Amino acid sequence: MCDDVLWNFLMPDLQPNQFHPRLKTIDSKLITLKHASLIATWIDRKEGKPYKHTDIPYDFSLLMRGSRDGYSQQTLHQRCGGQAKTIMLMKIKSTEEIFGMYISNIWSNTSSARSHDSFMFSFGEGRDTKDPVLSRVRAAGYDLALSRGQERGMDELEMFKISPKTVFML
C-alpha cells in the first residue's frame, strides 16, 4: 500500500492498483471475526445486518488471556485496570458456551461505574453465531467480579481493549 501511495504521489497520471480489503485477524482462541463483527454492531447500537469483517470500525487488542496470564483478580486488575471500553469473554468447560460482556467504563477495583452502554451476550456452544443472545443493561450500576474462574468451570478467559481504528486518508 505504501508503494501505491508513493507512486501516486510521484506519477499522478499513473493508474493506481485497486485496493482490496486487507485480511484481518483477531488474536483470540474464543471468537472469530464474525463474532467481532456482531460485537462491534452491538457497541454502535446498529440495527439490521452486522458489519462486514472488513468494515469493523474497532481494533480488538488482547489485554489478558487466562491460559497465558492466569485467572486471579490481581492479574485482571494489573492487565486491565484503568482501561475503558473492554470486552471480557469466557468459555465454560462443560458446555463450550461462550459468554461475554462489554464494559464501557474504566475498570477499577476501588469503585463501581454506572453505564447504560454496557451489555452481556452469549454465542451458545462452540463458535456458532446463528442465535446470539444480547442483553443490554437497563439499570446501570452493577458490579462485575472475577473470582476463582478455573475452579468454577471456566475453560478460558480473554479480555480485549476496544479502540477506534486509525483511518488513513489518501
In terms of phi and psi (left: phi > 0; alpha: psi -120 to 50; beta: otherwise), the region of 45 is: left
9 falls within a domain? no
Q: Encode burial over 69-101: b for 16+ CB neighbours within 10 A, e otherwise.
A: bbbeeebbeebbeebebbbbbbbbeeeebbbbb
Q: What is the pLDDT of residues 98-118, one digit of tens each?
A: 999 998 888 765 555 566 788
Quote the CA–CA distance of 109 and 72 in Å, as a whole number.
Answer: 13
Band of residue 89 on the pLDDT scale cut at 50, 70, 90: very high
Residue 37, pLDDT score: 94
More reliable by pLDDT, 86 or 10: 86
Q: Are 58 and 165 in contact (CB under 8 A)?
A: yes
19 falls within a domain? no
Strand 58-65: give its sheet, edge to edge: 58-65, 154-164, 86-92, 97-103, 119-125, 133-136
8 falls within a domain? no
Residue 82, pLDDT score: 86
**How many domains is the chain partitioned into structurally?**
1
Residue 33, pLDDT score: 92
Counting Cα atoms < 13 Å in the Cβ hemisphere of 132 gives 24
57 falls within a domain? yes
Q: What is the pLDDT of residues 117-169, one digit of tens each?
A: 888 899 877 666 788 989 887 765 554 444 444 445 567 788 888 888 865 55
Residue 68, pLDDT score: 93
Q: What is the pLDDT of residues 10-52, one digit of tens each?
A: 666 655 444 444 547 899 999 999 999 999 999 999 988 999 9
Residue 31, pLDDT score: 92
125 falls within a domain? yes
Quote the CA–CA distance of 114 and 87 in Å, as a whole number.
Answer: 16
5 falls within a domain? no
10 falls within a domain? no
Q: Is the pLDDT of residue 60 over 90?
A: yes
Residue 151, pLDDT score: 45
Q: What's the rounded mean pLDDT across residues 87-108?
A: 85
| pTM (2 d.p.) | 0.74
Q: Are 162 and 85 in contact (CB under 8 A)?
A: yes
Q: What's the rounded mean pLDDT across residues 51-60?
A: 92
Domain boundaries, position 69: 25-164
Residue 12, pLDDT score: 62
- How would you classify the pairing of strands 97-103 and 86-92? antiparallel
14 falls within a domain? no
